[in-house]
Amino acid sequence: MTIVTRFAPSPTGRLHVGNIRTALHNFLFARAHGGRFILRIDDTDRERSTAEAEQSIRADLAWLGLHPHDSVRQSDRFALYEREFERLRAAGRVYACFETPEELDLRRKVLLGRGLPPIYERPERENTPVEGRAPHWRFRLDHQAPIAWTDLIRGEQKFDPALLSDPVIRRADGSWLYLLPSVIDDIDLGITHIVRGEDHVSNSAVQLQMFDALGATPPALAHEALLVAADGKLSKRLGAVGVPALQEAGLEPMALLSLLARLGTSQPVEPIADLGPLADGFDFAHFGRAPAYFDMAEVEQLNGRLLHALPFEAVADRLPGWVDSDTWDCLRSALHRLGDIEEWQGVLHGDVAATELAPDDRTYLASASEIAADLDWSGDPWHALTGALKEASGRKGKALFLPLRLALTGRPSGPEMSPLTRLIGKDRALARLRAASA
């Protein structure tokens, strides 16, 4: 069996961290099994769906590297839904209802007032048409068939259909709600696994009966724990964390994906530069049912670790022209974001602001400039210089290294000084040592 998964966003806005995680897990599971990953645009809500949002979703997935093998749009598939709807209607699994939203709301309140669950009270016979009122349509659940499945994450799941309302599948204006078109698509597209949030568990119970009513074997189901903000709340702030925020912050897509692939699992979160290794280790057996806590600070920390390990070839097309392979190898350990590299252009090729130094440090740097002038700069001038200064001055540790770093770079910390000193070059290094000692 070829594994086929799908990601089904509604084109009403940009992707956020929650549905990026859903897309990623569907992608990784399909890739891990040599399967296919399908993008389905759920645009049945014509009022809220926009072409601009659809294009943004496609662009976001491309930037993340989550390229679908195929894509479909629900608005192109209405004829298929109509045909299957009529088949269910003929079988008595779909029926018309004429209550208004106000009438339904009143019935719910009455049931709650009686201490009963607010479940739709199915009429004993077909609803009587109301003049001037178009019907909405419900799917008739089979109360004699218990609903059960083995969830790939949650384990054994059981629902009593008599405790569920017959779901509305079509509005009075003829437009479709989510439940039935999704099932019809999953059958038609050959979806073998549905991976989504645990907030869809009751929807899945209903949809399993829809699969059965349409004579289809349902896909395997995996319901993941929802993402929770670092403060422990289902915060609206998570909805603001998406591709635009990552791009604006200068973060790498794989920093986010490295976290989202392992969040909520028993596996360690590590910076991984390619989707392949993430897919190789992806297994729903690693996922737990506890909330998955998301912290943007972890993405930023992973971003730095990711950059520190990336070879020049992986970033060359995004670097300024003054950065070659040796420069990248030297500077990458100091970067938190790729854009931070611009801050080092002045250190390598410009002027460094004078640093306030104690008198004894200025004397020390004057000696350093004299020693540096006589060194062979074709080798490793930094270690040659510090070795000679240690012997001459008796200094060691911070007292030996920090004044030199401040004079040469204008910064108290940064990349390893040995390659950085070679990149600065003899003439610029001597000029800075002499200026700092004056």
Tens digit of pLDDT for each residue in 38-85?
A: 999 999 988 889 999 999 999 999 999 999 999 999 999 999 999 999
| CATH number for 395 | 1.10.10.350
Q: How confident is the model at residue 128 (pLDDT cuts 50, 70, 90)?
A: confident
How far, in Å, CA of 159 to CA of 148, rounded? Answer: 6
Q: Tokens at residue 271, please? A: 């910076």
- pLDDT for residue 189 is more than 80: yes
Same domain flag for 10 and 39: yes
Which residues lie below 8 Å from residue 90, measured CB to CB, with a gap of 6+? none
How far, in Å, CA of 313 to CA of 328, rounded? Answer: 10
Tens digit of pLDDT for each residue in 313-346?
A: 999 999 999 999 999 999 999 999 999 999 999 9
- Name beta bridge partners: 195: 222
- Number of structural domains the chain divides into: 3
Same domain flag for 284 and 321: no
The answer to the question of residue 205 being in a domain is no
Helix axes 179-188, 78-90, angle to 10 degrees: 110
How far, in Å, CA of 318 to CA of 341, rounded? Answer: 11
Q: For residue 234, what pLDDT is reported?
A: 53
Using DSSP, how many helices (H) and how many strands (E) does the chain show?
A: 18, 12
Tens digit of pLDDT for each residue in 78-115?
A: 999 999 999 999 999 999 999 888 989 998 899 999 99
Q: Tokens at residue 249, please? A: 């912050």
The answer to the question of residue 299 being in a domain is yes
Parallel, antiparallel, or unpaired: how do β-strands 4-7 and 292-294 relate? unpaired
Q: For residue 394, what pLDDT is reported?
A: 94
Instruction: Tell me which residue of 251, 156, 243 sits closest to 205, measured CA to CA.
Output: 156
How far does Cα 53 stand from its chain's mean position?
A: 18
- The share of the chain scoring above pLDDT 70, in percent, equals 97
Same domain flag for 234 and 294: yes
| CATH number for 268 | 3.40.50.620
Q: For residue 47, what pLDDT is reported?
A: 86
Binding-site residues, please?
Answer: 236
How far, in Å, CA of 368 to CA of 392, rounded? Answer: 10
Global pTM reads 0.90
The sign one gets for the Cα dihedral 238, 24, 60, 198 is negative
- pLDDT for residue 126 is more than 90: no
Q: For residue 236, what pLDDT is reported?
A: 55
Instruction: Tell me which residue of 302, 298, 336, 319 sits closest to 414, measured CA to CA.
Output: 336
Same domain flag for 317 and 302: no
In this structure, how many other beta carbons lie within 10 angstroms of the beta carbon of residue 204? 21
Q: How confident is the model at residue 127 (pLDDT cuts 50, 70, 90)?
A: low
Q: How confident is the model at residue 124 (pLDDT cuts 50, 70, 90)?
A: low
Sheet order of strands, 136-139 included = 94-97, 136-139, 168-170
Same domain flag for 316 and 252: no
Last residue within a domain, chosen from 309, 333, 359? 309
Same domain flag for 274 and 316: no
The answer to the question of residue 14 being in a domain is yes
Tens digit of pLDDT for each residue in 211-263?
A: 999 999 999 999 999 888 877 655 555 667 889 989 999 999 999 999 999 99
Last residue within a domain, chosen from 309, 340, 372? 309
How far, in Å, CA of 427 to CA of 416, rounded? Answer: 20
What element of type H or E holds 198? none
Instruction: Label residues 140-167 b or e (16+ Cβ within 10 Å = b).
Output: bbeeeeebebebbbbeebebebeebbbb
Q: For residue 123, what pLDDT is reported?
A: 74
The answer to the question of residue 155 being in a domain is no
- The share of the chain scoring above pLDDT 90, in percent, equals 85
Tens digit of pLDDT for each residue in 403-422?
A: 999 999 999 999 999 999 99
Binding-site residues for ATP, please?
Answer: 236
Q: For residue 408, what pLDDT is reported?
A: 97
- Structural domain harbouring 341: 312-348
Least confident window among 5-9, 122-126, 158-162: 122-126
The answer to the question of residue 194 being in a domain is no
Where are the extended beta strands (E) located within 21-146? 36-41, 70-73, 94-97, 136-139
Q: For residue 100, what pLDDT is reported?
A: 87
Same domain flag for 329 and 356: no
- pLDDT for residue 144 is more than 70: yes
Instruction: Tell me which residue of 209, 211, 149 sits closest to 186, measured CA to CA.
Output: 211
Q: To the nearest whole number, what is the mean pLDDT of the chain?
A: 94
Same domain flag for 316 and 276: no
Instruction: Tell me which residue of 270, 436, 250, 245 sits closest to 357, measured CA to CA.
Output: 436
Under DSSP, the state recorded for 239 is G
